[in-house]
Amino acid sequence: MADAPADGDARFGRDRTLRIKSPLPLDSGLQLSPLDIAYETYGALNANRSNAVLICHALTMDQYVASDHPVTGKPGWWLGMVGPGKPIDTDRFFVICANVLGSCMGTTGPRSINPASGRPWGMSFPVITIADMVRAEIALLDALQIERLFAAVGGSMGGMRVLELAAAHPERLGNAIVIASAARHTAQNIAFHEVGRQAIMADPNWNGGNYYDGEPPSKGLAVARMAAHITYLSEEGLTAKFGRKLQDRDAVSFGFDADFQIESYLRHQGIRFVERFDANSYLYITRAMDYFDMAASRGGRLADAFAGTTTRFCLVSFTSDWLYPTAETRSIVHALNAVGAPVSFVEIDSPHGHDAFLLDAPEMDAVIAGFLAAGRTS
């Protein structure tokens, strides 16, 4: 690959950050500047720059899709999917994964410094949308001089960005993979997010979002994570894993310790989460997801979002995912069929709920590998 432009390009590799020079226009009418985007790349960009795959991460994930997390030290969150010989094969594809707009792992978000005040944005950070996040990702692609993606892949909120990218920039996307996702947030989705936000805001340490000089609202954020984590699992999965088993004791304590294993597990999930995530980012990103409704922002008809598209689509849902159930994916398939788009869809049998897409799922791997293998990188 001596002619590959990737060789020696300082923009490519692990732990990169680019500053986007021009202000980012937002759906709210405001503009965001400056904009830093933190990202990682894996594999080599080919000579005609046609093998790029953008991975869009979910709400609380980050750019460390296939490398160790700098804070937790844990391995990449999608190692089973991304790597040499994996379904998203880094021997074939140039993989890009960027920390999403509003997050807290290097991309501009509420924890970043507002140059006007010299202090963190906090709640003066503009409210952002899924479309704004896609604009930021497009700005990164422009900076990397990638005209057209071979594919964009995302689960959960990442799937929302793939759909938005396909709708807003069909000419820049060859193949779209949308996993365990939806084209809108339902009342139930919004309700769970609101519980999380209220938990954060009820923590005295939150202080109107102005906590970067002191103690962060860790208790509120941990409760938010606990509530959300339940929505990522299934009753079937919880019963199989925990049932009514007690935690390090033979009988209930007639108190409010974590008697049950499930309580201990959720508390642990909450504590681990606050080590690596910013509470204000959680507020902003959940808000963006709640505002997401692709049909409403296009005259009420989802199919109109995809009229004339030449992008190939592959959608995957899971039987036990009640956060973004199969019916939501089917409505996207319906819309894509209505405009004659090339679409594949499969519902995979899994007891693991929404989180199934992050776990070992050989059928999902086979579908994604097969779908990508059939696409041509020319």
Separation CA 152–CA 165 (nearest Å)? 8
**Catalytic residue flag (residue 354):** yes
CB of 162 to other proteins, least distance (A): 17
Contact between 378 and other proteins by CB under 8 A: the answer reads no
- Select the residue interacting with other proteins from 142, 327, 340, 359 (CB under 8 A): 340
Instruction: Count interface residues toward other proteins (CB under 8 A).
Output: 24
Residues 289-328 that bind other proteins (CB under 8 A): 312, 314
- Select the residue interacting with other proteins from 20, 131, 333, 356 (CB under 8 A): 333
Q: Which residues contact 341 (CB under 8 A, 6 or more apart)?
A: 306, 309, 311, 312, 313
Contact between 26 and other proteins by CB under 8 A: the answer reads no
Contact in structure between 189 and 289 (CB atoms under 8 Å) = yes
Separation CA 348–CA 359 (nearest Å)? 13
CB of 368 to other proteins, least distance (A): 9
Contact between 356 and other proteins by CB under 8 A: the answer reads no
Contact in structure between 111 and 125 (CB atoms under 8 Å) = no
- Select the residue interacting with other proteins from 143, 246, 338, 351 (CB under 8 A): 338
What percentage of the chain's residues is helix, strand, coil (to nearest 5)? Answer: 40, 15, 45
The per-residue b/e assignment along 212-221, b for 16 or more CB within 10 angstroms, e otherwise, is: beeebbbbbb
Contact between 15 and other proteins by CB under 8 A: the answer reads no
Query: DSSP of 107-152, one letter per residue?
Result: SSSTTSEETTTTEE-GGGSPP--HHHHHHHHHHHHHHTT--SEEEE
- Select the residue interacting with other proteins from 1, 245, 334, 359 (CB under 8 A): 334
Binding mask 35-54 for other proteins (x = CB under 8 A): --------------------
Separation CA 316–CA 155 (nearest Å)? 9
Q: Of the listed pieces 92-100, 157-165, 240-248, 364-372, which binds other proteins according to CB under 8 A?
A: 364-372
- Helical segments of the chain, H only: 130-143, 157-168, 187-202, 218-232, 235-241, 261-274, 279-291, 326-338, 362-374
- Select the residue interacting with other proteins from 349, 351, 355, 357 (CB under 8 A): 349
Q: Of the listed pieces 104-112, 133-141, 145-153, 336-344, which binds other proteins according to CB under 8 A?
A: 336-344
Separation CA 91–CA 23 (nearest Å)? 35
Contact between 360 and other proteins by CB under 8 A: the answer reads no
**Catalytic residue flag (residue 268):** no
Contact between 7 and other proteins by CB under 8 A: the answer reads no
- Select the residue interacting with other proteins from 15, 68, 360, 363 (CB under 8 A): 363
CA-angle at 241, arms to 236 and 244, nearest 5°: 90
Contact between 246 and other proteins by CB under 8 A: the answer reads no
- Select the residue interacting with other proteins from 239, 253, 337, 378 (CB under 8 A): 337
- Annotated catalytic residues are 156, 321, 354
Q: Which residues bind other proteins (CB under 8 A)?
A: 312, 314, 333-334, 337-338, 340, 342-349, 363, 366-367, 369-371, 373-375
